[in-house]
Amino acid sequence: MVVPSAVTERHLALPTGLITAILLAIPGYFFGVWLGTLFGLFDDQNTGVILGYGFAVIGFLIGLGFLNYPLGRLMGWNMQPVPVYSDVDAVAAAARQGWTRYFSLSLDHKVIGLQYLVTILIMLLFGGIGAMLIRTSLLVPDASITPPGQYIMLIGLHAVMMIFITSAVILGPFGNYLVPLMIGARRMAFPRLEALSFWVVPPAAVILAAAIFWGGFPTGWTGYPPLSEQAGQGMDSYIVGFVLIAIALVTSGINMLATIITMRAPGMTWTRLPMFVWGIFTTAILGLLAAPVLATALIQLALDRTVQTSFFLASNGGSNYLWENLFWFFGHPEVYIFILPAFGIIMDIVPHFARKPLWGYRTGVVGLFGVTLLSWFVWQHHLFVSGIAPVLRPFYMLSTELISIPTGIIFLVTLGTLWRARVWYTVPMLFCMGFLFNFLIGGISGVYLSDVPTDVTLHGSYFSMAHFHYTIVGGEIFAMMAACYYWLPKMTGKMLSPTIGRVHFWVMFIAFNSTFFPLFIAGILDMPRRVSVYNPALQGLNQWVTYSAYALFGSMLLFAANLIYSWFFVTRPALANPWQVRGLEWQVPTPVPVNNFDRVPLIVAGPYDYGIPNARPVADFGGLVGATGGG
Amino acid sequence: MGLRIEPADRPHAIRLLIIWVILSVIGVIAALQIPYPPGNQSIQGDDQAKTLQLLTALATPVFIGVVMMVIYSAIFFRRNTPELVDGPPMLGHTPVQVAWIGISAILVLFLAFVGITTLASDGVARTVGVPGRAIGGSTTGGAAQNQASELEVQVIAQQWYFTYRFPSYGGVETTHLEVPVDRPLDIHVTSLDIIHSWWAYELGVKADANPGVDNEFHVTPQKTGSFTVRCAELCGLWHGQMSDTEGKVVSQSDFDTWIAQQQKDYAVIASAVPSYAPSYFPAPLTKGS
Amino acid sequence: MVRRVSIVGGSLVVLVVAIVALVGLFVLRQPGPLGQGATTKIHLETVAAVGSANEWPRPNDPHPDWVGYLPTTILKVPANSTIAVQIDQEDSATGLRNPFWGKVFGTDGGNIHMKYFDDKGNPQEGDVNSIDPTQAAHTFAIPDLGVFVPLLGVNSAAPSGSANVITFSFKTKGPGIYHWQCFVPCGAKTIFGNGGPMQTLGYMGGELIVS
């Protein structure tokens, strides 16, 4: 038997990269449309559009190179199973790639984190413009600025774009970038899944935006059938885009869980884990378990729309309650997917700037898990007035109100950490304080909505709209801003201007409250959500809100200006540890080496051990002899 | 482990307690003065306004407490030296944690108890197991009423209008709703096409209109006047325009006159309208016609 | 520095272009008002497919197979005046979902004047206050003014190409934008017939701009 003397490295002939990906996505779309018309029994184009988007995404991913590795293994070629960044050659190769690696399939969690960040900031701009157009339309109580058709299209695009963003805004950029650094690993457990979880997001955003060419979709983000089955081909964008986001949530969920469970450095015990990692851990549980339910419901909706099943049509034996249950069974854990990483950020940043140990670390972790557990038992509070099973309403009222206990723990832990501290009020710390104020209002207004008698009046009104903007924008986005100002120096090697940062914070904080607090009042005074025509008596209130919303948008432009100014023009190189904190991620050099840690560190103390006499440094970077973790 | 306050904590704790008590008393008194929507046009609306008032009165001290802590920390717990100094290494305080969790649990359980009793005083016991209905309704609370005297009204939603049928008046259908005062209403909401939500704001009623479902609830108007009806579930192009400001609560004699006039006006169409039913499936699919 | 400025500037230009395109799409996608100024007469035509209209053709319509009112559904009328409407109804019957709308509401005299064809194809004419709900092709309804007018479908016995001519008048209230729509589920190929043209201005939905 002749054994090949050397297995030669072979690659696919296809040159892979972003350009190839786009070049393959376009024929993919037309192939799908053609296939759809082949099966087009119903002459409604939905089959073609859905298959078109599907094949475009498959073409896009193949063009990026997602098939190279599995195909190579199938062909028996000598494929490197995972990049080993301890390998000097691999490090040099990655460094040689330079900035182009941000535009190609990279398996480096730091590259993926930055890819996520930039993508999401661009999406945020478009979502924000949608919000500004909505607010402009509401300057007048009739539909004279924006016709009603365009108005509900804007509602749908703004809502779904923002849901895409907020699902990933912390988990994607900061989760991917920081989790390995914080637990002392050199990479994620499944780098290819990690890359996939990012590379489905840009197609999701593009497909969603493509709904404009079909006239949008009329359902908002909830997609209630039968309206969503009545809708035109814009609805198919909603379905395919959301399925892609569900894929991103599942893949990043399983990846984060595996990484945090198996790849912690020696000595990184569960009680030494930074709170941010706990936030990501609980989020990953929710993402992994909730997103498949959404995908199931979306596929049912797609079948209803294409091959004429009737899962959600009462007239043909289905029920729209099926969708409402499936959607909110995903939808309520989904809102905790937004906020749990934000809790993690707040509980992580506050002790570092208070320079005190986290007050009640274990209680804080219990709080996060309490929210995670309870979030599965509350979904029918979205359906109190829908007519589903009234006997169950007391149960859902109780379970929803119970969730304020673990949420209250987050406040307890944070305020306890601030107690008698010597707080350094940096820009990230300002955003943390803003978070506490905003999320308090968001949380308290949630109790109003959980109580059935008051929910009858407040349900589906601007009150509930103000409530979830307080929790998502005032909570999650404020936490995300704190994270940007805090961690971007590590991620980009450049400090953001603290002067612009302070102005940004105060404008954003005041404009945010001035925008959304009056909307509680509008909701209490009979203004339903998603209407282009409202009670003329509320015009003054709405004009005030619109002008505040412009200021809020202006504050986001200030943030963008700060990024551009600090990244490109007046670069102030960041020190390795500009905040002088104990977090493990700050102990590595800036910019972070490709292999993160030359040797896997030995963790010898917790990240928040400030003021403890004779506290040891957080880690011993001499490394263990024969350490294998994170290879 | 008893409650032990360290000497360094004491001035802060006393100061905060005094500020909190003063501000909370002012806040609660203020919260009790505000007139709460949806007002007292119906018994159920009155219940909702009272619950809103209770929630606000309870939320005010919580809100003031936390905001006060945040502001106090921002003022007194800030670094006043040029170099970074570590704070005291406090890892936690079990009695405080237990107290915080205990108080929030008591508050939450109390609210749930109040909510459930408000509901149970009418809703749950009454709407479940009523024969002839597949799925129960969303009763909004209020005292139990004499069922025999109830006026049955059906709300039929479609894209984009609500119409009303009165089975006890020969199934006459109208474009606006007028109801007699002080008489319990048994309202059935259904839809001909997609999901809508019938929101009679001043009456304190919101109920989703689902195709093929009879969503039932009870309400008793107690004051004459007008009310606004809006659609509270996104239902397509004219969702925002699906409103009616001409709902009226009138005296029984005015109602009798009005309904007689409606029966006369719409007699011409009476034979074409289908007989009264809990829900309607007028046209199944028209896809691919 | 120059390279930096060009990269940042270039990306900003791309973003601005994308934003302008996004906003522009909203502006371009709306039908214009009926160019009759302060008229008190409205003449409309309903056709089964706007692409095959004779009198008011729409050559570049994105949905030539949709049912629609012609020439436009954005109507400008003066406040507190009587509006005379003539509708040439050329479509065949679909039938009402809610037969209640077979009755005429809110017109002057509670009637409409109708020239139509009977089952034998003979032309008929007269004032009516209701029609057979199963024979409705469309309705002209302005809910906020309480105006609901059912439009009889063209009988299959009628000569091809003929139209039912419906005339009526109603009174406007104060200035404002009032929506009007059709209550016949005539949006073929959509569930419950209320999608597509029913959900789009310029086809089966419109605005009455009272000024």
> Cα B238 to the chain's mean position, in Å?
24
**ipTM for the complex shown:** 0.89
Sequence-distant (6+) residues with CB within 8 A of B6 are: none
Binning chain B into helix, strand and coil, the percentages to the nearest 5 are 40, 20, 40
- Answer whether A515's CB lies under 8 Å from A545's CB: yes
Alpha-carbon span B189 to B187, nearest angstrom: 6
User: What's residue A121's pLDDT?
Assistant: 93
Determine whether the interchain pair B55/A451 forms a contact, defined as Cβ–Cβ distance below 8 Å: yes
Lowest mean pLDDT among B1-10, B221-230, C151-160: B1-10
**At A277, phi and psi to the nearest 5?**
-65, -40
Determine whether the interchain pair C29/A215 forms a contact, defined as Cβ–Cβ distance below 8 Å: yes
Handedness of CA C111, C116, C119, C122 (dihedral sign): positive
Say whether pLDDT at A10 is over 70.
no
Which of A89-93, A295-299, C77-81 holds the top average pLDDT? A295-299
Model confidence at B144, pLDDT cuts 50, 70, 90, reads: very low
CA-to-CA dists, residue A294 to A311, A599, B166, C206, angstroms: 14, 42, 41, 36
- To the nearest whole Å, the CA of A135 is away from the closest chain C CA by 14
Say whether residue B161 is in contact with chain C using an 8 A CB cutoff: yes
Determine whether the interchain pair C191/A569 forms a contact, defined as Cβ–Cβ distance below 8 Å: no
User: What's residue B1's pLDDT?
Assistant: 41
User: What's residue B136's pLDDT?
Assistant: 36
b/e map A5-36, b = 16+ CB within 10 Å = eeeeeeeeeeebbbebbeebbeebbebbbebb
Per-residue pLDDT, averaged over A179-194, amounts to 91
Two tokens, residue A211:
């709904």
Average pLDDT over chain B reads: 83
Instruction: Please choose, from the candidates B191, B187, B223, the residue with its C-alpha nearest in 3D space to the C-alpha of residue B205.
Output: B187
Say whether pLDDT at A38 is over 90.
no
Average pLDDT over chain A reads: 88
Say whether pLDDT at C13 is over 90.
no
**Cα angle B185-B128-B111, degrees, rounded to a multiple of 5:** 85
Please identify among residues 139-178 of chain C the ones whose CB lies closer than 8 Å to any CB of chain A.
176-177
Model confidence at B143, pLDDT cuts 50, 70, 90, reads: very low
Report helix angle A148-168 to A201-210, nearest 10.
180
Q: Could you read off the pLDDT of C86-100 as tens digits, one per residue?
A: 888 888 888 888 889
Lowest mean pLDDT among A474-478, B98-102, C62-66: C62-66
Alpha-carbon span A595 to A593, nearest angstrom: 5
Which of A42-56, A290-304, B269-283 holds the top average pLDDT? A290-304
Say whether residue B190 is in contact with chain A using an 8 A CB cutoff: no
Per-residue pLDDT, averaged over A421-434, amounts to 93
Pick from A142, A150, A564: which is nearest to C30 by CB? A150
> Pick the residue with more confidence: B123 or A102?
A102
Per-residue pLDDT, averaged over B195-216, amounts to 90
Say whether residue B142 is in contact with chain A using an 8 A CB cutoff: no
DSSP state of A423: B
The residue type of C128 is V
> Pick the residue with more confidence: B82 or A406?
A406
Two tokens, residue B54:
């209770």
Say whether pLDDT at A4 is over 70.
no
Report helix angle A320-354 to A361-374, nearest 10.
170
Per-residue pLDDT, averaged over A150-158, amounts to 91
Instruction: Please choose, from the candidates A414, A85, A396, C11, the residue with its C-alpha nearest in 3D space to the C-alpha of residue B115.
Output: A396
Name every chain A residue with its beta carbon within 8 A of the beta carbon of B62. 444
> Pick the residue with more confidence: C33 or A214?
A214
Per-residue pLDDT, averaged over A607-616, amounts to 87
Q: Could you read off the pLDDT of B15-60 as tens digits, one per residue?
A: 999 999 999 999 999 999 888 888 888 888 888 888 899 999 999 9
Sequence-distant (6+) residues with CB within 8 A of A303 are: A309, A311
Q: Which of B155, B159, B190, B289 to mutate to test the interface with C (most CBs of C within 10 A)?
A: B159
| pTM for this model (two decimals) | 0.91
Lowest mean pLDDT among A156-160, A612-616, B284-288: B284-288
Model confidence at A79, pLDDT cuts 50, 70, 90, reads: low
Q: Could you read off the pLDDT of A258-285 as tens digits, one per residue?
A: 999 999 999 999 999 999 999 999 999 9
Model confidence at B284, pLDDT cuts 50, 70, 90, reads: very low
Alpha-carbon span A441 to A470, nearest angstrom: 7
User: What string of DSSP letters covers A529-597?
Assistant: TT-SS--GGGHHHHHHHHHHHHHHHHHHHHHHHHHHIIIIIS--BPPSSTT----GGGGS-SSPPTTS-
Name every chain A residue with its beta carbon within 8 A of the beta carbon of C3. none
Determine whether the interchain pair C192/A568 forms a contact, defined as Cβ–Cβ distance below 8 Å: no
Lowest mean pLDDT among A372-381, A617-626, C61-70: A617-626
Say whether pLDDT at B256 is over 90.
yes
Q: Could you read off the pLDDT of A521-567 as tens digits, one per residue?
A: 999 998 999 998 998 999 999 999 999 999 999 999 999 999 988 88
- Consecutive H or E run containing A364: helix A361-374
Handedness of CA A513, A516, A519, A524 (dihedral sign): negative
Say whether pLDDT at A165 is over 50.
yes
> Cα B81 to the chain's mean position, in Å?
52
Pick from B9, B85, B111: which is nearest to A422 by CB? B85
Question: Nearest residue on chain B to C110, judged by CA atoms?
Answer: B265
Alpha-carbon span A479 to A487, nearest angstrom: 12
- Answer whether C79's CB lies under 8 Å from C211's CB: yes
Lowest mean pLDDT among A26-40, A90-104, B56-70, B209-223: A90-104
b/e map C1-17, b = 16+ CB within 10 Å = eeeeeeeeeeeeeeeee
Q: Could you read off the pLDDT of A216-265 as tens digits, one per residue?
A: 899 989 999 889 988 888 999 999 999 999 999 999 999 999 999 999 99
Model confidence at C5, pLDDT cuts 50, 70, 90, reads: confident
User: What's residue B234's pLDDT?
Assistant: 92
Two tokens, residue A68:
């190279």
- Answer whether A471's CB lies under 8 Å from A529's CB: no
Lowest mean pLDDT among A278-287, B115-124, B209-218, C6-15: B115-124
Say whether residue A356 is in contact with chain B using an 8 A CB cutoff: yes
Alpha-carbon span A173 to A476, nearest angstrom: 14
HSE-up of residue A493 (Cα within 13 Å, Cβ side): 8
User: What's residue C29's pLDDT?
Assistant: 57
Sequence-distant (6+) residues with CB within 8 A of B178 are: B247, B248, B249, B250, B254, B255, B258, B259
Say whether pLDDT at A462 is over 90.
yes
Say whether residue B192 is in contact with chain A using an 8 A CB cutoff: no
Per-residue pLDDT, averaged over A57-81, amounts to 82
User: What's residue A548's pLDDT?
Assistant: 94
Per-residue pLDDT, averaged over A84-98, amounts to 62
Model confidence at A348, pLDDT cuts 50, 70, 90, reads: very high
User: What's residue A630's pLDDT?
Assistant: 39
**At A183, phi and psi to the nearest 5?**
-105, 5
Say whether residue B281 is in contact with chain C using an 8 A CB cutoff: no
User: What string of DSSP letters covers A151-190?
Assistant: HHHHHHHHHHHHHHHHHHTTIIIIIHHHHHHHHT-SS-S-
Average pLDDT over chain C reads: 82
Please identify among residues 103-132 of chain C the ones whose CB lies closer than 8 Å to any CB of chain A.
none
Q: Could you read off the pLDDT of C143-195 as tens digits, one per residue?
A: 988 899 998 888 888 888 788 889 998 888 888 889 999 888 887 777 778 88
Say whether residue C11 is in contact with chain A using an 8 A CB cutoff: no
User: What's residue B128's pLDDT?
Assistant: 36
User: What's residue C172's pLDDT?
Assistant: 87
- To the nearest whole Å, the CA of A306 is away from the closest chain C CA by 12
- To the nearest whole Å, the CA of A572 is away from the closest chain C CA by 15
Q: Could you read off the pLDDT of A166-181 as tens digits, one per residue?
A: 999 999 999 999 999 9
Say whether pLDDT at B77 is over 50.
yes
Per-residue pLDDT, averaged over A591-601, amounts to 84
The residue type of A529 is R
User: What's residue A568's pLDDT?
Assistant: 82
**In a 10 Å sphere around its CB, with 0-12 CB exposed, 13-18 middle and 19+ buried, how is residue A622 labelled?**
exposed
Q: Could you read off the pLDDT of C22-53 as tens digits, one per residue?
A: 666 655 556 656 545 445 677 787 777 777 77
Strand-pair category, C147-152 with C136-142: antiparallel
**Over pLDDT 90: what percentage of chain A?**
62
User: What's residue C124's pLDDT?
Assistant: 87
User: What's residue B142's pLDDT?
Assistant: 38
User: What's residue A298's pLDDT?
Assistant: 95
Model confidence at B282, pLDDT cuts 50, 70, 90, reads: low
User: What string of DSSP letters covers B232-252?
Assistant: -S--STTTTT--EEEEEEE-H
User: What's residue B114's pLDDT?
Assistant: 87
